[in-house]
């Protein structure tokens, strides 16, 4: 059995070197709108995030239902992790490429994360049931305020840099080397934000008993049932928006289940279905003189084996050009002159949700016919461990390898359009 209370004692937030650093940070940085980078770097070294598995979180959530002691232990761990992960996100924000870091929206987000970190560092130790209740109430209020904030901030910042009146800023933003650097940092920031939100929501949900769930983890999640619900809602949305919809056909065994986070599954499959449905309508309107009749179906095939769950979403929307695959996985496309706020974030974020517990998301386009999307997840709960990303130190502080290559020369040489990133950029903390 695995449980949060079995994590090493050195992870305790009250460890002596950490206490000294906390006092130093509160004394030196209390008046500043942003933290001192050296202090945040030292904090992330002393307090690294602890990757946890679905098994660990499920067990701890089930144990705490009838145990005030376990609820307190869980609260202490969550407080420690929120502190570590906010510090980690701050370190990433402070190290971002300047073209994005200097955008007002990103500067405001950095200041907001800094204030939230200070708030956690100032919190007294959790010593009893009353402290745990107070801590949960504080988290519940903050969760409502922060919903979607990071995603909206970077959508606005990307749009602002894309249209900046300063030609030097705009030229730098459109540089392919800078583009890869921005994508690498956004991968790490959004991945960390997924973990921060996931742990907070799970802890709050686990404080009450919900039939079939341990926190936000469903004990017997049926991927077919999730896909059926998504298919029905997507068809209703398409009819309301466009007046017609491609039929969405779900194939698979509804009785096959696994322990997973259904909200993550819904996000990834929902993004694949949304893209497939809208692409089908656009393609049909172009080839059928604007009539939304006899649209070809979108087929969703769910396969469950002993160790994996695979969801295939196949459309007949004409297919992607293979030359477009690189931009599909970027947070904005250099090839598009019609980039808009929020456009282009869906698939990169969906891939991060898939990779968060060690899964994968790939596209297989057949140009002239359609595109297949493949989502593969681990079926076994003890193998579904958080995949926390970081930006490698040599990338953050790297020097140009040559005049012709520039800072990201090695990354460009190793670039793989489907993976979207050079093979050295994704590393576990």
Tell me the per-residue pLDDT of 155-203, one tens digit each, with 9 for 90 and over.
Answer: 777 777 766 657 777 677 777 777 788 888 889 999 999 999 999 999 9
Q: Are residues 86 and 207 located together in one domain of the fold? A: yes
Whether the per-residue pLDDT at 10 is higher than 50: the answer is: no
Please indicate, yes or no, if residue 400 is contained in any of the structural domains: no
Beta-sheet strand order (sheet of 213-214) = 213-214, 217-221, 258-260
Residue with tokens 């980690």: 88
pLDDT of 279 strictly over 50: yes
Domain extent for 225 = 217-383
Q: How remote is the C-alpha of 352 from its chain's centroid? A: 5
Q: What is the mean pLDDT of residues 195-222?
A: 94
Do 174 and 270 sit in the same domain of this protein?
Answer: no
CA distance 13 to 79: 8
Are 184 and 236 within one domain? no
Give yes or no: residues 222 and 208 share one domain.
no
* Spatial CA neighbour of 245 closest among 204, 296, 178, 180: 296
| Structure confidence at residue 415 (pLDDT) | 35
Residues 169 and 111 in one domain: yes
Q: Is residue 3 part of a domain?
A: no
Does 428 reside within a domain?
no
Does residue 390 form part of some domain?
no
Asked whether residue 239 falls in the same domain as residue 202, the answer is no
Q: Are 104 and 240 in the same domain?
A: no
CATH number, domain of 123, equals 1.20.140.20
Q: Which of 395, 398, 401, 402 is nearest to 421 (CA)?
A: 395
- Check which CATH number belongs to the domain holding 278 and give it: 3.30.565.10
231/196 same-domain check: no
Q: Is residue 329 part of a domain?
A: yes
Chain segment 108-117, per-residue pLDDT in tens: 888 888 988 9
For the chain, the domain total comes to 2
Residues 164 and 273 in one domain: no
Query: What distance in Å separates the CA atoms of residue 64 and residue 62, rounded to the nearest whole number?
Result: 6
């Amino acid at each position: 059995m695995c449980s949060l209370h079995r994590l090493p004692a050195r992870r305790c937030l009250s460890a002596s070197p950490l206490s000294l650093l906390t006092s130093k940070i509160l004394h030196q940085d209390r008046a500043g709108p942003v933290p001192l980078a050296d202090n945040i770097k030292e904090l992330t070294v002393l307090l690294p995030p602890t990757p946890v598995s679905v098994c660990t979180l499920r067990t701890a959530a089930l144990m705490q239902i009838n145990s005030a002691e376990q609820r307190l232990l869980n609260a202490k761990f969550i407080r420690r992790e929120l502190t570590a992960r906010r510090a980690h996100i701050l370190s990433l924000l402070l190290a971002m490429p300047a073209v994005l870091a200097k955008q007002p929206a990103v500067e405001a987000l950095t200041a907001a994360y800094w204030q939230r970190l200070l708030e956690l560092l100032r919190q007294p130790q959790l010593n009893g049931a009353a402290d745990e209740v107070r801590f949960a109430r504080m988290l519940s209020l903050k969760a409502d305020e922060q919903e979607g904030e990071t995603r909206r901030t970077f959508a606005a910042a990307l749009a602002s840099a894309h249209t900046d009146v300063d030609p030097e800023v705009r030229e730098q933003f459109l540089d392919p080397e800078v583009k890869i650097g921005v994508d690498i940092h956004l991968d790490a920031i959004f991945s960390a934000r997924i973990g921060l939100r996931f742990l907070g929501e799970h802890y709050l949900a686990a404080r009450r008993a919900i039939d079939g769930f341990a926190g936000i983890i469903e004990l017997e999640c049926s991927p077919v049932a999730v896909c059926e619900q998504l298919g029905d809602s997507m068809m209703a949305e398409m009819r309301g928006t466009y007046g017609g919809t491609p039929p969405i056909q779900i194939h698979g065994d509804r009785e096959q289940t696994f322990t997973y986070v259904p909200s993550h599954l819904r996000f990834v499959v929902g993004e694949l279905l949304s893209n497939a449905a809208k692409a089908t309508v656009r393609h049909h309107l172009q080839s059928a003189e604007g009539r939304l009749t006899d649209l070809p179906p979108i087929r969703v095939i769910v396969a469950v084996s002993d160790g994996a769950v695979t969801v295939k979403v196949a459309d007949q929307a004409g297919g992607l050009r293979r030359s477009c695959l690189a931009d599909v996985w970027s947070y904005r496309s250099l090839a598009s002159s019609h980039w808009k706020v929020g456009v282009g974030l869906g698939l990169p974020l969906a891939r991060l949700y898939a990779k968060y517990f060690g899964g994968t998301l790939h596209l297989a386009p057949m140009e002239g016919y359609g595109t297949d999307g493949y989502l593969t997840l681990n079926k076994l709960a003890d193998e579904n461990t958080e995949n926390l990303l970081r930006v490698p130190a040599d990338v953050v502080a790297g020097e140009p390898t040559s005049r012709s290559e520039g800072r990201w020369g090695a990354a460009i040489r190793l670039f793989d359009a489907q993976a979207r990133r050079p093979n050295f950029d994704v590393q576990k903390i």
